[in-house]
């Protein structure tokens, strides 16, 4: 049963969970307003917004060991990323003489071949700054998505901070969050190893534990593969994403291989620690190839919050066409033709989150070719099994945290270069020179495991979502349902839909009466919290959760403050429909 306890990780008892329980409308408001009755109970949260307890403890240890009086720190996977954070803080704080230090720390290399299974050499960057600048550092962490993961933080805490240091930095010794993560790490270390072959496929290893115990640990806790297999896991992931897996055992993989195209190589797929890091680095790449003639970008359609933040806060700025419809494209074309604007890139989601609008990618591609700008498409919501956006984009970003992973226990992102793009040579040169592998080894191992059944899960979610949409559309309490199959932009979705593709698992909807939205949300017996694409159905009052401080502003772009968003999971269709109907009935009963 879904937990209704505030602050509990989703999934429960998962040390590195991506989502967190906000079970009522009031709790979501309380979280956004920082009310103690909510925030005091938060033991978890979405990792770009809520810094994991293990990372917090690592930060306190580093501050105690290396910091000066009044300094705080923020930790990043490399020195180069830390320097980007420093530049961002300096630019935004308006204090030209402020002292911001960047420290590089290293963990030891394996002493021998046996240690390669559990020890990995890594170099990290730490930004140390006056405590009052912490909100700016946190902004960079959130917007860029380039912060360390909780698994990386767990490893660094063990390697860099001694027990004595931890006791110095925390009054009670090790925090509960560290104990929980360490306990999970110990369980995972005892789990069976799985060896990755050179082609990225898997073969079972051996372990002295019984087969039944192995199966239990594998299914219940997941497993951490030996760290020495992390690079093979990343190769497997890039091949899975590019459709170039060497051994395709089913029709879905064969179709994907054909659809992605002969020219796309796994070397054109870049892995990142989050989907937002993929978008951030796409923006960095486009800025770089336009550095001699800096220009603004276009954000086409109302996007997820940090995509717009990246375009606003880094570089020359953004032209925001928030409606993302054909009329907006008419306006853009006219302004380009008249020389009123000159842009370096157009960023869009396909379809958009949360209104599920699909842009006319064919027309956008035509404009890009004519006016020489890059097209960056975020395919997360549609996912590359359902839609084929690569022919129309120069770069394709995706959050692998979502349906590609499904298990809600690892953050990741990918960025694909289109080898047929007119900008491919410039972009490829940039990534050859500048790309850093920020994706932590253990996270790659988890993601490889999670994504093996991606195609089967995605299709089941698509089918269940269609039934949920049908139920919601027929209910008299509901005024509007947003879903690609019933959207005004359906023709644009269908133009890029794959032959076996569906319409995705994300649904948004509005009630005629705001009180009914609150009643429904509080009553519905499903998981409630941030994120999407999870293997379990997950709901949130989207506008409240993502845009609480700008509800009047987002209304200009048709985002209603009472919007509810549901991400459909793998529950049996009848189970989910019954849960939705029961809550609709409760909302209806309050009118009697």
| Domain at 236-451: CATH architecture | 3-Layer(aba) Sandwich (3.40)
Under DSSP, the state recorded for 497 is B
Q: Which two tokens stand for residue 425?
A: 């040579």
Class of domain 455-589: alpha beta
Given this model, what pLDDT does residue 179 score?
Answer: 40
pLDDT digits (tens, 9 = 90+) for 155-169: 999 999 976 666 655
Helices within 388-477 (DSSP H only)? 424-434, 441-450, 454-474
Mean pLDDT of 179-207: 34
* Cβ 336 vs Cβ 371: under 8 Å: yes
Determine what percent of the chain falls in helix, strand and coil, rounding each to the nearest 5.
Answer: 45, 15, 40
355-364 core/surface letters (b: 16 or more CB in 10 A; e: else): bbbbbbbebb
Query: SS3 for 342?
Result: coil
Given this model, what pLDDT does residue 21 score?
Answer: 96
Q: Is the pLDDT of residue 209 over 60?
A: no
Per-residue confidence band for 393, with pLDDT thresholds at 50, 70 and 90? very high
Given this model, what pLDDT does residue 96 score?
Answer: 80
Q: Is the pLDDT of residue 566 over 70?
A: yes
Given this model, what pLDDT does residue 94 score?
Answer: 86
The span from the CA of 581 to the CA of 586, in Å, is 9
Q: Which two tokens stand for residue 532?
A: 């999407």
Q: Which two tokens stand for residue 122?
A: 């890594």
Q: Is the pLDDT of residue 124 over 90?
A: yes
Burial class, 577, CB count within 10 angstroms (exposed 0-12 / middle 13-18 / buried 19+): middle
Tell me if the bond preceding 201 is cis, omega within 30° of 0: no
* Cβ 76 vs Cβ 128: under 8 Å: no
Per-residue confidence band for 190, with pLDDT thresholds at 50, 70 and 90? very low
Given this model, what pLDDT does residue 351 score?
Answer: 97
Domain segments of the chain as ranges = 53-186, 190-223, 236-451, 455-589
Mean pLDDT of 255-279: 81
HSE of 61, CA atoms in CB hemisphere, 13 A: 26
Q: Which two tokens stand for residue 397?
A: 């970003």
- Report the mean per-residue pLDDT for the chain: 88
* Cβ 401 vs Cβ 274: under 8 Å: yes
Given this model, what pLDDT does residue 207 score?
Answer: 33
Phi and psi for 198 in degrees, rounded to 5? Answer: -65, -20
Given this model, what pLDDT does residue 434 score?
Answer: 97
Mean pLDDT of 81-85: 98
The span from the CA of 430 to the CA of 546, in Å, is 33
* pTM, rounded to two decimals: 0.89
User: Which region among 95-99, 209-213, 251-255, 304-308 has the lowest average model confidence (pLDDT)?
Assistant: 209-213
Q: Is the pLDDT of residue 126 over 60?
A: yes
Per-residue confidence band for 43, with pLDDT thresholds at 50, 70 and 90? confident
Q: Is the pLDDT of residue 248 over 60?
A: no
The span from the CA of 259 to the CA of 243, in Å, is 8
Can you point out the beta strands (E) in 113-190?
123-130
User: Which region among 38-47, 83-92, 126-135, 536-545 has the lowest average model confidence (pLDDT)?
Assistant: 38-47
Q: Which two tokens stand for residue 414?
A: 């990918």
pLDDT digits (tens, 9 = 90+) for 473-497: 999 999 999 999 999 999 999 999 9
Given this model, what pLDDT does residue 168 score?
Answer: 58
CA angle 352, 438, 21 (to 5 degrees): 50
Mean pLDDT of 272-284: 98
With residue 396 as reference, give the H or E element that holds it: strand 395-399
* Cβ 128 vs Cβ 101: under 8 Å: yes
The span from the CA of 223 to the CA of 290, in Å, is 44
Q: Is the pLDDT of residue 498 over 50?
A: yes
- Domain 53-186 matching CATH 3.30.70: the answer reads yes
User: Which region among 198-212, 401-415, 459-473, 482-496 has the lowest average model confidence (pLDDT)?
Assistant: 198-212
CA dist 592 to 475, 502, 583, 587, 589, Å?
16, 39, 15, 10, 5
Given this model, what pLDDT does residue 201 score?
Answer: 35
Mean pLDDT of 575-579: 98
The span from the CA of 394 to the CA of 127, in Å, is 33
The residues, any chain, with a CB within 8 Å of residue 215's CB and separated by 6 or more, are: none
Q: Which two tokens stand for residue 193?
A: 């190893």
Q: Which two tokens stand for residue 271?
A: 């892995």
The span from the CA of 273 to the CA of 491, in Å, is 34
Given this model, what pLDDT does residue 263 score?
Answer: 75
The span from the CA of 260 to the CA of 282, in Å, is 20
Mean pLDDT of 12-38: 96
With residue 573 as reference, give the H or E element that holds it: helix 573-589
pLDDT digits (tens, 9 = 90+) for 48-77: 999 999 999 999 999 999 999 999 999 999
pLDDT digits (tens, 9 = 90+) for 333-384: 999 999 999 999 999 999 999 999 999 999 999 999 999 999 999 999 999 9
Given this model, what pLDDT does residue 58 score?
Answer: 97
The span from the CA of 443 to the CA of 447, in Å, is 6
Q: Which two tokens stand for residue 227?
A: 């760290």
């Amino acid at each position: 049963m879904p937990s209704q306890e505030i602050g509990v990780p989703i999934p429960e008892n998962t040390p590195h969970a991506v989502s967190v329980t906000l079970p009522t409308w009031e709790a979501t408001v309380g979280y956004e307003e920082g009310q103690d009755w909510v925030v005091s109970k938060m033991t978890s949260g979405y990792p770009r917004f809520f810094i994991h307890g293990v990372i917090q403890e690592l930060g306190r240890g580093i501050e105690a060991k290396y910091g000066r009086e009044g300094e705080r720190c923020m930790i990043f996977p490399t020195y180069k990323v830390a320097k980007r954070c420093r530049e961002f803080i300096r630019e935004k704080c308006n204090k030209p003489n402020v002292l911001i230090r960047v420290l590089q720390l290293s963990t030891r290399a394996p002493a021998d071949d046996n240690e390669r299974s559990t020890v990995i050499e890594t170099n990290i960057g730490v930004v140390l700054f006056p405590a009052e600048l912490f909100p700016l550092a946190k902004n960079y962490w959130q917007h860029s998505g380039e912060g360390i993961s909780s698994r990386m933080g767990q490893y660094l805490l063990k390697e860099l901070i001694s027990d004595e240091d931890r006791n110095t930095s925390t009054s009670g010794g090790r925090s509960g969050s560290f104990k929980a993560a360490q306990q999970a790490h110990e369980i995972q270390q005892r789990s069976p190893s799985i060896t990755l072959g050179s082609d990225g496929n898997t073969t079972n290893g051996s372990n002295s534990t019984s087969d039944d115990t192995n199966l239990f640990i594998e299914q219940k806790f997941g497993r951490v593969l030996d760290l020495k297999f992390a690079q093979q896991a990343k190769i497997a992931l890039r091949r899975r994403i590019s459709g170039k897996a060497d051994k395709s055992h089913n029709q879905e993989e064969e179709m994907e291989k054909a659809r992605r195209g002969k020219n796309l190589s796994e070397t054109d797929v870049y892995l990142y620690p989050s989907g937002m890091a993929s978008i951030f680095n796409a923006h960095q790449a486009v800025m770089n190839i336009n550095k001699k003639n800096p220009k603004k970008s276009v954000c086409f359609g109302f996007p997820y919050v940090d995509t717009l933040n990246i375009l606003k806060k880094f570089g020359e700025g953004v032209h925001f066409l928030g409606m993302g419809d054909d009329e907006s494209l008419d306006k853009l074309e006219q302004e380009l033709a008249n020389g009123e604007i000159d842009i370096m890139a157009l960023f869009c989601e396909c379809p958009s989150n949360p209104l599920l609008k699909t842009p006319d990618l064919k027309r956008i591609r035509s404009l890009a070719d004519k006016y020489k700008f890059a097209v960056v498409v975020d395919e997360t919501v549609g996912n590359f099994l359902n839609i084929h956006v690569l022919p129309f984009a120069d770069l394709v970003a995706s959050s692998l945290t979502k349906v590609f992973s499904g298990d809600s226990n690892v953050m990741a992102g990918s960025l694909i270069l289109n080898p047929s793009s007119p900008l491919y040579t410039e972009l490829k040169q940039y990534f050859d020179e500048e790309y850093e592998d920020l994706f932590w080894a253990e996270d790659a191992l988890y993601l490889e495991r999670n994504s093996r059944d991606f195609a089967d899960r995605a299709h089941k979610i698509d089918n269940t979502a269609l039934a949920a949409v049908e139920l919601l559309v027929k209910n008299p309490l509901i005024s509007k349902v947003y879903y690609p199959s019933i959207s005004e932009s359906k023709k644009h979705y269908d133009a890029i839909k794959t032959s076996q593709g569906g319409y995705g698992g994300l649904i948004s909807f509005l009630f005629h009466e705001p009180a009914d939205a609150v009643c429904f949300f509080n009553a519905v017996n499903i998981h409630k919290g941030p994120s999407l694409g999870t293997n379990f159905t997950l709901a949130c009052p989207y506008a409240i959760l993502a845009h609480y401080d700008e509800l009047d502003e987002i209304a200009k772009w048709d985002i209603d403050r009472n919007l509810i968003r549901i991400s459909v999971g793998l529950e049996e269709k009848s189970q989910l429909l019954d849960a939705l109907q029961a809550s609709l009935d409760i909302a209806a009963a309050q009118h009697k």
